[in-house]
Chain A
Amino acid sequence: EPEVTQTPSHQVTQMGQEVILRCVPISNHLYFYWYRQILGQKVEFLVSFYNNEISEKSEIFDDQFSVERPDGSNFTLKIRSTKLEDSAMYFCASSEQPGQGMLDEQYFGPGTRLTVT
């Protein structure tokens, strides 16, 4: 069964450092997403991406964040200068065709646990 993969599974970084989180979405999916979940809190939307453009972003996704699809398979989230409050699980997700019933379904990767010290 196809699945979303993410690397690394755990990233520890110092405050102010840049991090890049990587995702490989399901191969026939066209829409990609990043969510985050701070420990003990709910899953929060960060950004959606389609056709090499951001289609929607939340208030959390400020200028410190960026996304890229550098090649045909990878989808990355970059945090330019990490803060303590960026510590969270970051989940990548993908879907085929939102707004089309079952094709709205988003499938999540296993997540990257980011710890900022």
Chain B
Amino acid sequence: RKEVEQDPGPFNVPEGATVAFNCTYSNSASQSFFWYRQDCRKEPKLLMSVYSSGNEDGRFTAQLNRASQYISLLIRDSKLSDSATYLCVAYNNAGNMLTFGGGTRLMVKP
């Protein structure tokens, strides 16, 4: 079983739409979670850290459900510039490493 699993997509949505991505992780020892955004052939850029209570940053909302080992990212009012691959990432303190999911590709169309 993959450690961090995501639907690869692509998700094709019109501008202004709301889109949600889900992610599951298998290592219950994972302590912190993040969403990174990656544009084609570029580095992962940190989008949001994910806190247990859920957190919001503008149009982006992240949720964590430790019982179900499930993380989500909601993007409201999608912009063309949101088109990218969204990477779900788990951090394990014991290993001091990030474990990446395969990414979910989002394409926002006019």
Question: Across the interface, do B103 and A89 meet the contact criterion of CB distance under 8 Å?
Answer: no
Question: Across the interface, do A104 and B44 meet the contact criterion of CB distance under 8 Å?
Answer: no
A2 touches B (CB below 8 Å) = no
Q: How large is the interface on A (under 10, 10 to 19, 20 to 34, 35 or more residues)?
A: 20 to 34
B69 touches A (CB below 8 Å) = no
CA distance in complex: A106, B45 (Å): 9
Question: Across the interface, do A110 and B43 meet the contact criterion of CB distance under 8 Å?
Answer: yes
Indicate with 1 or 0, residue by residue over B11-34, a CB within 8 angstroms of chain A CB atoms. Answer: 000000000000000000001101
Question: Across the interface, do A58 and B97 meet the contact criterion of CB distance under 8 Å?
Answer: yes
Closest to A93 in B: B98
Question: Across the interface, do B45 and A108 meet the contact criterion of CB distance under 8 Å?
Answer: yes
Question: Across the interface, do A108 and B43 meet the contact criterion of CB distance under 8 Å?
Answer: yes
B42 touches A (CB below 8 Å) = yes
Question: Across the interface, do A42 and B103 meet the contact criterion of CB distance under 8 Å?
Answer: yes
CA distance in complex: A33, B89 (Å): 15
Question: Across the interface, do A56 and B97 meet the contact criterion of CB distance under 8 Å?
Answer: yes
Question: Across the interface, do B44 and A105 meet the contact criterion of CB distance under 8 Å?
Answer: no
B100 touches A (CB below 8 Å) = yes
Which of B31, B98, B103 has the largest count of A CB atoms less than 10 A from its CB? B98
B87 touches A (CB below 8 Å) = yes
CA distance in complex: A109, B43 (Å): 6
| Contact of B49 (CB < 8 Å), options: A91, A93, A102, A109 | A102
Q: How far is the CB of A75 from chain B (nearest CB, A)?
A: 15
List of A residues within 8 angstroms of B95 by Cβ:
56
CA distance in complex: A102, B31 (Å): 11
Question: Across the interface, do A48 and B97 meet the contact criterion of CB distance under 8 Å?
Answer: yes
Question: Across the interface, do A45 and B87 meet the contact criterion of CB distance under 8 Å?
Answer: no
B80 touches A (CB below 8 Å) = no
Question: Across the interface, do A104 and B103 meet the contact criterion of CB distance under 8 Å?
Answer: no
Instruction: Give the top 6 A-B pairs by smallest Cβ distance, nearest first.
Output: A108-B43, A43-B100, A99-B93, A45-B97, A104-B32, A42-B102
